[in-house]
Amino acid sequence: MRDKYDWAGKPSTDSAAVMQQYDEMAPTYDATLLQDWGYRAPAVAADLLARHVGLNSTVLDVGCGTGLTGGELKRVGFATVHGTDISQPSLEAAANKRVYESLVRANLMEPLPFADDSFDAALCVGVLSYITGDGLFRELCRIVRAGGVLVLSHRTDLVVQREFGKLLAQLAAEGLWRSVETSTNLPYLPGHPDFGTQIEVQFFILKVL
Ligand SMILES: C[S@@+](CC[C@H](N)C(=O)[O-])C[C@H]1O[C@@H](n2cnc3c(N)ncnc32)[C@H](O)[C@@H]1O
């Protein structure tokens, strides 16, 4: 049986619809994702980032939701973590974890409310399914300083369907970033009946130029 939001289907890129989904899910998100579906992407992303930047880096968790990635960044030892998301109830859940220096409500499909070179690194975990175009990536390259690092996760089926490799190459050709490492395909939501081993996740580590 499909879950209410058909997670494994074609994700909506309508920001208002996505916001409503995550507003509704906020109270149950952590238990559903971690316990029921075996979601480990936040932990994997935090461990990956720690291999590429110092723990004194100022990090932005992009699409932080209820703060799972912030919690993992703290576990790894990052001291200064900021977060942004469109869902206010999710941001409130994230605030309750007390791991973020600041939390800012923003739509990732619009220019981001951060100055140039504000961060040493940014992670975007479990979010790109809901994002169209290349605007977010250009914004990340603007707000993360040159030499900083991005860690992006993307569903393996959407990497293919949306030709994510072309986007990576396009921004590299423009001199915005350089690919540092791409993970193998890893389990995404192994406990979700529609994901299983059919839909996995890949992590992309990029250096901002
Ligand atoms: C699957 S959750 C991932 C949350 C968190 N990164 C994690 O791994 O647990 C997707 C998150 O992306 C956020 N999101 C989706 N589209 C967005 C948009 N256009 N602007 C800001 N946040 C967005 C949702 O509100 C939600 O919190």
35-to-2, 30, 54, 167 alpha-carbon distances in Å: 18, 8, 31, 34
The pLDDT value recorded for residue 26 is 98
152 in contact with ligand 1, CB cutoff 6 A: no
The pLDDT value recorded for residue 6 is 83
64 in contact with ligand 1, CB cutoff 6 A: yes
Give a yes or no: residue 9 inside a domain. no
109 in contact with ligand 1, CB cutoff 6 A: yes
- Report the number of distinct structural domains present in the chain: 1
> Per residue of the chain (209 residues), what is the pLDDT tens digit?
467 788 888 899 999 999 999 999 999 999 999 999 999 999 999 999 999 999 999 999 999 999 999 999 999 999 999 999 999 999 999 999 999 999 999 999 999 999 999 999 999 999 999 999 999 999 999 999 999 999 999 999 999 999 999 999 999 999 999 999 999 999 999 999 888 888 999 999 999 99
Instruction: Count the neighbouring beta carbons within 10 Å of the beta carbon of residue 169.
Output: 12
The pLDDT value recorded for residue 1 is 46
The pLDDT value recorded for residue 10 is 84
Q: What is the DSSP letter of 177?
A: E
Give a yes or no: residue 162 inside a domain. yes
Give a yes or no: residue 183 inside a domain. yes
Cβ neighbours for 98, distance < 8 A, ≥ 6 positions apart = none
Specify the 3-state DSSP secondary structure of 194. coil
Read off the CATH number of the domain in which 137 is found. Answer: 3.40.50.150
Range of the domain at 141: 15-208
Q: Are 48 and 205 in contact (CB under 8 A)?
A: yes
